Structure 1
Amino acid sequence: MSWFLLFSMVERMGIIVAIAFLFTRWPGFRSLLENRPDPRSKFMLALVFGLFGIVGTYTGITVSPGEVQHRFPGALTYEDAIANSRAIGVMVAGLLGGPLTGLGAGLIAGLHRMSLGGFTDLACGISTVYEGLLAGLVYAKARRHGMISPWAALATGVVGELGQMAIILLVARPLAKALYLVQIIALPMILANSLGIALFMAIIQAVAEREKTIGALQAQKALAIADKTLSHLRTGLNYDSALATARIIHEQAGAAAVAITDHQVILAHVGAGADHHLPGQPILTEVTKQVLTYGQLQVATGPAEISCQNRHCPLQSAIVVPLYSGRKVIGTLKLYAVKKRRPDQVMVELARGLAQLFSTQLELGEAERQARLLQDAEIKALQAQINPHFLFNALNTVVSLIRTNPQEARRVLIELGNYIRQNLKSSLNKWTNLATELQHVQAYLAVVQARFSHRLKVIIQVPDEFLGVALPPLTLQPLVENAVRHGFSKFTEQSMICIEAAQQQADLLITVRDNGAGIPPEQLKDLLTEPVSRREGGIGLINVHSRLQGIFGPGYGLAIESTPAEGTTVRFKIPLQVQQEVQR
């Protein structure tokens, strides 16, 4: 082994790793490092790391008969070989993108190496492809556990380089010269390249962790802002709610200015430029008009795109995101900066998250306004109870999950959106069907299970033939929520809620059963009496009971059976002939 070669290889490896660090500062490169790269991303990874492999070849050291030359390899004679860091880029490609990405990078770097000549050209080309495939297979095996760790990358690098030495001995000729070359380069290349691969993956892992941390912090900030703006946006998008919301965002988000518009005029502008960006002025910015038209986030990177008529306006760039109510764009949220540059991705994602949360709040507000128009006062009371209570519990669950399990936090947010969407629809319709009610229940229970670490077992036994049965909206979900809130002081692995449906003569009998704490007899006999129900927090039960009896008659309210320490069963019937009346 040549100590000079070892130190030189470590030096070259440092150059490759330094380039890798610089690349991780480039947003375009970071966008390729997704958990599940798509085909285009895999192709780009193969291309980028294939070029890394070529750089590793050109930063190598020529090994000629009897000497190690401290120079970059150019054209090689047949007697020459290269001690290089080509494997670093190729194997990292496989570890990040899988077998096809590793193969692609190996072919790019391997074919280039073969074009340089030397008695190891074919052996090095083959071994480069082998190393890319090996790393890709490690990715395929271990990826479900998360990003490949630096220690696993180190071990993969050692195995890959040992394989390269074996291929040189098997393919390169004459064998004596190949054996002599391996004796010189084996240990330096194994040590330097495997360490380089491990450092490369450590750098990428650090970047990925930083992105997750920033994302979690921005999500928490968005949730904190949304919590403070909830009471304002529930009144709708108007001058007062827009001004209060813009002030909160300006204070919390660190933007130079914040503006909110409806479809025609500026509703509020807080921060830099507030002396001439006045509420009530028509929208002039072209980028804002595009967002209102197409419903897609837009970024203005200069004053020309902002189109302010004031020559002394300090606003230089902006992020403009649409605000929705349902599927309709009703306004925009704009975060401004006073520096003439493209806004960073962190601020873009914050704006996107705020817009989504505000749209949900506006949708909630619209639903509440619609509920006030309903003649059924009990529906309004139920809506007022469910939405804020459940929303805040769900947001707290997401906040607690967002650092420890971002994927679970994302799933809970999706289920929360499904729940809220169905809750809003329920307040606007007189009838729904059992399938929709069960979807509503499942969305609610998905958030509850996340909150209590999936200790609650849910059993749904409803034959498909009954899924289309019509019933009043918000009939089943309040019963399940009541079982969750009052049936269990704490959840264990044995906690269970069962929902069943079966035909009973001319009716459909629906049962919600739990094995929770049960209800004391003295409380049970008066539970469906309105004053007692309200005092005990049972507005959901009395509401469902009263609506069922009001629609179907006195014999169609709730029937409740309960045994303390064993559980509670709630039953109600839906007359099957009502289906014909609903269809008419």
Structure 2
Amino acid sequence: MTDILLFEMIKRISTAIVLGLVISRLKLFDRLMANRLSWLDRIIFILIFSSIAILGTYGGIPINDALANSRMIGIMAAGLVGGPFLGSAVGLVSGLHRYSLGGFTALACAISSITEGLLAGLFQKFYKRPLIPWPIALGIGFFGEILQMLIILLVAEPYHMAAALVGEIAVPMTIANSLGLALFMKIIKDGLHQRETQKANQSQNILAIARETVRYFRKGLNPESANAVVQIIKKHSSYDAVSITDTTHVLAYIGAEANHHAPGVADHLTNVTIHSLTSGKIHIAYSHDEIGCTDPHCTLNSAIVVPLTINSRIIGSLKMYYTTATHSPDSSDVAFAQGLADLFSTQLELTEIDQQRQLTEAAKMQALHTQINPHFLFNTLNTISSLIRTNPELARRLLIKFSQMFRFTLQYTGRVISIAKEWDQVSGFLEISLARHGDKLFVTHNIDPAIFNYGIPSLTLQPIIENSIKHGLQPREVGGSIAIEGTMTDTDILITVTDDGVGFQNDPSYYLEHPPEGHIGVSNVHHRLQGLYGTPYGLTISSVPEEGTTVTIRIPKIQPEPEKETL
């Protein structure tokens, strides 16, 4: 009888195994593995696993007013896959169903159903891995069935009937259901592994599009490069919309709902984008509400947003959208998005390194050009020569300052030095300028001593002051004055250079992006600072024609680079 019952039990577990195969193919299962289930998802899983358990009950073999069944497979599988909540919920639902069928083991079966679900869920919680291997599931199933037999012996009445029933069903149910649970978990794990392999291969193939986008990011992250990149991604993927942003605006958008998400139309970033930019992590939205679009008729249903970074500094985001509920971000989308973002970030970082190198070289050449400019050189040497007889000490000091300027440019260009060292360089330049211009130049400074220990990219301040003298004050016959102030906030250093010169005739901000030929000094400083520290930093210029100009330098509080030993 035991052999026959075992054979019949093994036949009945096939339904649960087939359903396990189906479950492993559901996209919903990816969210379960990622622990990102909504309450609706949880209800769906409770219904699915409860159905497996209830089918196991109805497929049971009647024995002495009881059932030899495979209910345990659905219950413990729910716990092993979804944890204590799912296991207990499925155990409760299927246990109450079994209790409603009656019989002297009804109460014992209800209790054992809840207990087995909770037991499997607690094991999953403390196992700390996505899926439990089938050999372990086999052991847990064996233990769960033994526990069920003990509960029947303890709760079911009369005892002699319970003992007779356990003696008849314990071995076949324990063997068959343990094997069934093990096979169920193996099929789910194999199915998941197969899907992951397919998605990984697909992702690797899709990532080949990165080769097409590399050349566009050589010019940095801007609307033109972003627009080319989103078109390439859209062409090679199944996403309904693709977008790239900087930290404040949409740079490019292609696909569904472009009428209110495209650049120039969208007046703000979506909530999921803001969360990703703020946290620096991938964010996934599984619904229109999670995306945070303010248009109630927007068809975008889910999104995955991954930040773009340069040297751990967030500069923007890459976003992909789906419009239908049947397509929502899963693990392959995460791998795809992260891979693209890493490649784009690396390319942008290399581009910035190259741009910084070019800007540094330009700054160095500009500084050297200023120092060896025939007019500057002649005027400085002429000034020193005239002072040799009238004020030899000042002439000697100016000559030393002049040589120090050359040494500084050659030694520190491209480095982050202390503001104190930068100020020494500026002081030398100002001393020479004051000696040259005499009464036509008046300089005051009010600098908080606390800022001198912080760092600043070399040759940041001198080009600003030089520009004030050359283009602000020299055109005036009577000259003018320059005021330099240095303060700090909790996070930033602020240095202002104010002159009462001729001012800008047009929008001064225009010159930061479009410097006239031969006047790149201020623009160079602005782009170097923004490249190093991001868009909140750099230069801002305010000017009133014929009244003067104020240039504000904003940099973060940073430490200078260690001094290098020189021979």
Between structure 1 and structure 2, the one with the greater Rg is 2
TM-score normalised by L of structure 1: 0.48
TM-score, length of structure 2 as denominator length: 0.49
